[in-house]
A and B are shown apart, each in its own frame.
Chain A
Amino acid sequence: MKEQDQIIPHWVRRFLQLICPEYLYEEIEGDLIYRYNRDLLKHNKNKAKRRLVWNAIRFFRPGILMRNNFTKGLNYQIMLKYHLLVAWRVLLKNKLFSFTNVSGLAIGFACCIFITMYVLDELSYDQYHGKAHRIYRLLHNSGNLADTVSTSNNPADYSVWGNAPVATALKAEFPEVEQVVRFSGRASTVLRKGDNIFNEPNIFIVDSTVFDVFSWKFVAGDPETALAQPNSVVLTESTAQKYFGDEDPLGQTIEVDAIAGRINERSTCMVTGILADIPHNSHFTFDVLLPMSMFKKSRPGVFTAWGYVDSYTYFVVPEGFDIAVLQAKMHAFTRRHVTEWSYNLMIEPLSKAYLYSKAKRQPGVTGNLSNIYIFSAIAVFILFIACINFMNLSTARSMTRAKEVGVRKVAGAQQGVLRAQFLTEAVLLSLLAGVLSLAIALLLLPSFQALTGKQLSYELILAPKVLTALLAATIVSGFFAGFYPAMVLSSFRPSQVLKGILKASFQGAALRKGLVVFQFTLSIALIAGTVVVFSQLEHLRSIDTGFNQEQMLVINFDYDGKVQERLEMIKNEFEKHPSIISAAASRTVPGGHFPKATTLIETATGEMQSKAPDLYEVDFDFIPHFDIDVVAGRAYSRDFPADTANSLVINEAAARLWGYTNPEDALGRKFSQWGKEGRIIGVVKDFNYVSLHNKVEPLTLRLEPRYSMSYLTLQVTQNDLPATIREVEQKWASLAPHRPFLYSFLDDSFNRQYQADVRFGKVFGVFAMLAIFIACLGLFALAAWTAERRIKEIGIRRVLGASFGQIVSLLSADFMKLVLISMLIATPLAWYAMTRWLESFAYQVGIRWWIFAVAGLTAAVIALITVSFQSVKAASMNPARSLRTE
């Protein structure tokens, strides 16, 4: 009989036990052995064995598996009810434990809800257009015929902003292009309706085909004809509200001031359409649309000049069209039209415009794909940390529940039932946390909106996608967190447990320690990351940008012709004011938008070489006013009236671009730019006129004090700023009564470039804090449990003369060791991750060792406080009392 028992290999037997209902198991095993013995008569031993295994495996079929459930089916509901009841009681019995777990998990889930909302929102950009999947846009790249970049396939070398005629040609030459629409660059001007006069900074001048391509919702008006006529205007609902209040705006007129470079004179436009406000999840938004025909009337030349850049081009292709076919034709297309320079086009789908586009000169703010990854990863980490709390506490408490398991087993509970019991507890807890997290999410949504600067609606929390994700997350986390404790607890042997023999499992303790280390590694890495992000931001602020940005009041008059005419007078008037130190005008200010200009400069060999450096148009006072160092030659000066006609100042990077490593050598060289010819008279130090994400690019500072000025910058004194602003405003009203007074401070607007970075830092910091908070919740409960379990030991130690301090350190030391190990693991991880992050900045703060020390120390101190709270409680207990308790 003994040898018959060994016929079926052990693992096969385990397998059969697993899949077969218990009441069928014996006969099936018997039949298998019988067949094996029969096979032995015909085949050799090995073959018989193989057939046996095969026969056994074949029992893995629905007819057998389902039978398991059928018999339990009746029982199961009763058991579930019972499991839930017990789980509820356990929950109430251990309040600290339940609180730790539920709140930790709830915070974890709430993070996940927020991140899911954030990610869904990021992914939803532009998807609301009916033709979204068929809309594409052109990316343009221009360069020297000989340049290598000119044939680049890297979208980062391309711009979304391009010329106007390409759109017309595209529509005419490719029948597969169903519809094309052009947008001018974002424009701003003043709109007037009676006393309602506002500057509208968010205007696009568009082709009348715009509504065939994009499907913004019309509240009133006909999309077919809305922009067909010149002197019509389409407003968004809230913009219309500003001018017309509760009146019906449709058919009414509104005054639109000239738009420099686009629409030459003020015109009276009729409101022909009202759009619902543009959804925030659009890669560009606007408040006002004007018809392209007005642009065309003012400057017809723009629409035939392939070299004039002021258009975004979007187009629609038919359903199912392979865009690669069109892309392949682009090379020949551009060569047909442009021969003097190298002109290239790339086609980008609308779906890539927000998150994936690397092209320059975007019509709006673009998203950041890596942020999505980073935030998702952090959310998962936090959930992980919360789940670990559960695993740790459950296994730690297993000692306390061992007797319960023993009694249940003696009373006939099978391992499976116990496992189900513990899993039910875990899932119940997790579901509770899920409900709580919804409440947290609803409560904290405004803060999250402020944190991310995103308009996320309350409805989104209750969106089916989010709720399903949440439910799935709760159940999965419940199982994930409950699985290990369930396995451990249900495997106790009743005979030993009830006798009170419970070998403190070394394995369990090691695992617990490992998990704590894991939690703290993540937390410390997140803290270190936060410190790096903020020290980088601080670093950016402290870098000498090479120009004076303090106390600079910037007035934006948007190329207003009348202001430009009287600019010198206005400047003089302002400079008379005692709290104004100096004044200067320019086309743009540091941090603002500027064009590139094709420029020819003579190289050392005397050849005129063409490049496209950045362009700042300035007046005589700009360079001294902003305190920009002149490293060679001189700045523009009124002492040289000819400067306006034939002089150019460039920066060091530009000098290097034309091959002059020593700026002195560039002086006196010939230049030709935008119809002006003459000589280089000065080289200024490289100042950071764009964000410090980038190195300083070659720049030309062109003197154009009369025609291209848009900003007036006043340097004001520190004292009584509000009064100064008030006085400047009054003065402005008297000097330029027709222009609204729009001002900002240069350092504010310059630092706004880092808004996204600051936001990133804040989000990162908040998550880091949550991570350490949840980790400490777990540590707190774990310490409480340890202290409780060692209560007798502590009592005896105290009786034998251990000091208070000794006991506290005895209890805390174990945990501190774990935190120390975490620090060692977290340091290289965080160092690697943050080095990668810093790569996106041209000017990086060095990652110093103290950052990790600070992060580790912070974590250690927080952990120490958490743990010693319990240690002190345990150590200060009266030993007489603790020894008496049983």
Chain B
Amino acid sequence: MSKEHIGEFEELILTLVAALKDDAYGAAITEEIESKLAREVNLSAVHVTLYRLEDKGFIKSELGGGTSMRGGRKKRIFTITSAGMAMLKNIKDSRLKLWNMVPELKIAAE
């Protein structure tokens, strides 16, 4: 088990990178959070978190193509690494374990 812990927002972003696959870049992730979770986030916050996750080795990035929507500027496409995937699974497992300890939730889960 990795000693590295990640925060709630980091976890959210990491999950989204995994979910969006080839279309995971700053603006897209921001939009996704806003539409799916109805939560206001700032673009810069997402960017900073992405870079941090990359530093930690949970995601990696490469420059992708530009679109006219973005004035021809290239995107930075993020993809989840196996370490990142392991981290996500780990989080999910440990959450589930904890969930099972909560009586009401246990019933609901069964």
CB within 8 Å of B: which residues of A? 1, 4-5, 7, 24, 26-35, 37-38, 55, 58-59, 61, 63-64, 67
The 8 Å CB contact of B71, one of A4, A58, A61, is A4
Contact B43 A30 (CB under 8 A): no
How many interface residues does B have (CB within 8 Å)?
26
Cβ contacts under 8 Å, A35 to chain B: 27, 30, 43
Contact A30 B31 (CB under 8 A): no
Contact B66 A30 (CB under 8 A): yes
The 8 Å CB contact of A7, one of B42, B44, B51, B71, is B71
Given A34-B27, A34-B70: A55 and B75 interface contact (C-beta under 8 Å): no
Shortest Cβ distance from A66 into chain B, in angstroms? Answer: 10
Cβ contacts under 8 Å, A34 to chain B: 27, 67, 69-70
Whether B26 is near chain A, meaning CB under 8 Å from some CB there, is yes
The 8 Å CB contact of A27, one of B48, B68, B72, B76, is B76
Q: List 15 A-B residue pairs with CB atoms under 8 Å apart, sorted by A's residue number.
A: A5-B71, A24-B47, A26-B63, A26-B73, A27-B63, A30-B72, A31-B25, A31-B26, A31-B30, A31-B73, A31-B75, A32-B43, A38-B27, A63-B51, A64-B47
- A32 and B52 CA atoms in complex are apart in Å by 20
Shortest Cβ distance from A72 into chain B, in angstroms? Answer: 16
Contact A27 B69 (CB under 8 A): no
Contact A4 B68 (CB under 8 A): yes
Contact A27 B71 (CB under 8 A): no
Whether B74 is near chain A, meaning CB under 8 Å from some CB there, is yes
CB within 8 Å of A: which residues of B? 25-27, 30-31, 42-45, 47-49, 51-52, 63, 66-76
Nearest residue (CB) in A for B29 is A31
Shortest Cβ distance from A29 into chain B, in angstroms? Answer: 5
Given A1-B71, A33-B69: A55 and B48 interface contact (C-beta under 8 Å): no
Cβ contacts under 8 Å, B26 to chain A: 27-28, 31
Among A5, A7, A32, A64, residue most surrounded by chain B Cβ atoms (within 10 Å):
A32
The SS class assigned to the A binding surface is helix
Contact A38 B72 (CB under 8 A): no
Given A55-B43, A55-B44: A30 and B75 interface contact (C-beta under 8 Å): yes
- A648 and B25 CA atoms in complex are apart in Å by 105
Shortest Cβ distance from A437 into chain B, in angstroms? Answer: 45
- A173 and B64 CA atoms in complex are apart in Å by 88
17 further A-B pairs in the complex, CB-CB below 8 A; given A30-B71, A30-B72, A63-B51 = A1-B68, A27-B74, A29-B73, A31-B25, A31-B70, A31-B75, A34-B69, A34-B70, A38-B69, A55-B43, A58-B43, A58-B44, A59-B43, A59-B44, A63-B44, A63-B52, A64-B47
- A67 and B52 CA atoms in complex are apart in Å by 10
Cβ contacts under 8 Å, B67 to chain A: 34
Contact A38 B31 (CB under 8 A): yes
- A61 and B44 CA atoms in complex are apart in Å by 8
Contact A33 B47 (CB under 8 A): no
Cβ contacts under 8 Å, A29 to chain B: 71, 73
- A4 and B27 CA atoms in complex are apart in Å by 17
The 8 Å CB contact of B72, one of A1, A24, A31, A59, is A1
Cβ contacts under 8 Å, B71 to chain A: 1, 4-5, 7, 29-30, 33
Contact A27 B43 (CB under 8 A): no
- A34 and B67 CA atoms in complex are apart in Å by 9
Shortest Cβ distance from A276 into chain B, in angstroms? Answer: 61
Contact B42 A58 (CB under 8 A): yes
Contact B43 A37 (CB under 8 A): no
Among B42, B66, B71, residue most surrounded by chain A Cβ atoms (within 10 Å):
B71
